[in-house]
Amino acid sequence: MAPIVTTLRLTRLDKDLNKLGEHEQTMRSWIKHFFDLLYVKTSPSDLAMNDINGTSRTIRSTIGTSSVSPLGVLQIASTPGGCRNAVNPIFYNNNGSTPVLGENCGIVVGSNNAAPAPTDDAMGTVIAHGTGAGQLCYGGSEVLYPTFADPDGAMILRRYFTNSSGGDVTVRECGIYSQGCIVVTTAYGHSFCVCHDNVNPAVVVADTEILVVTYTLQITV
């Protein structure tokens, strides 16, 4: 079986959804925390790893009735920016939780062109959700159902970003943040960076334009 190949595509649309331009490149940078979250789901052991703020969190492999540590998952579907991102309903059967904001989960974009490293805890400089100068409005982060056409399979991750800032916003990096689900007894929500790529050349999103960022994961069997 061939390895998984992931393509990163950035598409600019005008406010009427007419295509203005497109940039495509091979996504190269799944980073350490991607493998950390895979590990903790298949291991009986907990694992310490840094969230996107660089704070060490003990990730649990199972739900504990007295734990305040986040449960390790790969969850990248997300609500729009400014909204709380829903997690598995099992966590609401206990003492409740406060999930992370939508802009801190799923596909994220940034303005820093520093080279990614396998040990990155976060993007270089995340472009904030909002309508202020230098900001973009984050839509929901979608995970489309996998499709298969012999011998290929594909799954699409996609997010829309709208520029209502009144000026240009330049995107120089893209990544994916995964949520650490909240575990009982205390309101906790943490995000972990699982991939990070430079965008080269940079993509300039003008005021009123919409940026569509698409990751396409493909396999050949």
Tell me the pLDDT tens digit for each residue of 180-218. 765 545 546 678 999 999 999 999 999 999 999 999 988
Burial of 18 (0-12, 13-18, 19+ CB in 10 A): exposed
SS3 72: coil
170: confidence class by pLDDT, cuts 50, 70, 90: very high
Q: Cβ neighbours of residue 18 under 8 Å, at least 6 residues apart? A: none
* Domains contained in the chain, number: 1
pTM beyond cutoff 0.75 = yes
Query: 118: domain range?
Result: 5-220
Tell me the pLDDT tens digit for each residue of 92-132. 444 445 677 889 989 999 999 999 999 999 999 999 999 99
Burial of 180 (0-12, 13-18, 19+ CB in 10 A): buried
Tell me the pLDDT tens digit for each residue of 28-60. 888 999 888 888 777 767 788 899 999 888 776
Which DSSP symbol is given to 169?
Answer: E
Instruction: Determine the Cα–Cα distance for residues 45 and 20; give it in Å rounded to an integer.
Output: 49
